[in-house]
Amino acid sequence: MLKVRDQRDFWSGILFMAFGCAGLWFGRNYAIGTAARMGPGYFPMMMSLALLGIGGFILARSLVAGSDTIERIAFWPQLQVLAAILAFGLLIERVGLAVSVAAVILISGFSAQGLRWHELIALALVMAAVCVGLFVHLLGQPIPVWVR
């Protein structure tokens, strides 16, 4: 039974190989051509093969050498950050800038250590006003402020 000695290298290897495979698979219909007349598939194929090869090497090496482990991951805060960004993306064209900004603040700051809820709401209101003022009025970007 093989043992993973280096966790970071192990997962890096997997990641690179996954990208290499994806590159080959989704690029399978692009014409490859010859070295003298490269088709649109030539360069991506070379890159994908390189990724597969190097990824494989890193993966193999992680089984025989090294001792790195992945540092602690604070799961919930990270999820909040990603959820906040996604919420902004989903809301911006439906409800406009002001509400979307407030949503980002509320979602990302929710249950943050030492941040009381009234502080959070105040921060959301202030940032919404600042963003509307800065991006829409000062920089003149055509971002919808309110959408009904």
Partner 1 sequence: MDILSNLAVGFGAAATPLNLGFCLIGVMLGTAIGVLPGIGPIATIAMLLPITYGAPPLGALIMLAGIYYGAQYGGSTTAILVNLPGESSSVVTCLDGYQMARKGRAGAALSIAAVGSLIAGVAGTIVIAGFAPMLARVSDKFLSPEYCALMTFGLVAAVVLAHGSAIKAIAMVFLGLLLGIVGTDVQSGVVRYTFGIPELYDGIDFVPLAIGLFGLSEIMRNLDQSAIERQVRHVVGSLWPTREEVRQAWPAVLRGTGLGTVLGILPGGGAVLSSFASYVLEKRISRTPERFGTGAPEGVAGPESANNAAAQTSFIPLLTLGIPSNPVMALMMGAMMIQGIAPGTAVITDRPELFWGMTASMFIGNLMLIIINLPLIGIWVRMLQVPYRILFPCILVLCCVGSYSAQLSATLVIMLAVFALLGYVFVKLGCEGAPFILGFVLGPLMEENLRRSLVLSGGNPVIFVERPISLALLLASLALIALIVMPRFRRTREQAFQE
Kindly report the backbone phi and psi dihedral angles of residue 119, in degrees, each rounded to the nearest multiple of 5, phi listed first. -65, -40
Closer CB to partner 1, residue 75 or residue 148? 75
Among 4, 64, 65, 78, binds partner 1 (CB under 8 A): 78
Q: Which positions from 14 through 43 interact with partner 1, judged by CB under 8 A?
A: 15-16, 19, 23, 26-27, 30-31, 34-40, 43
The verdict on 67 binding partner 1 (CB under 8 A) reads no
Handedness of CA 143, 88, 85, 133 (dihedral sign): positive
Read off the amino acid at residue 31.
Answer: A
Closer CB to partner 1, residue 1 or residue 37? 37
- Say how far apart CA 41 and CA 19 lie, in whole Å: 16
The verdict on 11 binding partner 1 (CB under 8 A) reads yes
CB-count burial class (<10 Å; 0-12, 13-18, 19+) for 58: buried
Owner of token pair 């890096």: 12
Handedness of CA 26, 28, 29, 31 (dihedral sign): positive
SS3 37: coil
Q: Which positions from 119 through 138 interact with partner 1, judged by CB under 8 A?
A: 119, 123, 127, 131, 135
Rule CB under 8 A: which residues touch partner 1? 8-9, 11-12, 15-16, 19, 23, 26-27, 30-31, 34-40, 43-44, 47-48, 50-51, 54-55, 57-58, 61, 68, 70-74, 77-78, 81-82, 84-86, 88-90, 92-93, 97, 100-101, 104-105, 108-109, 112-115, 119, 123, 127, 131, 135, 139-143
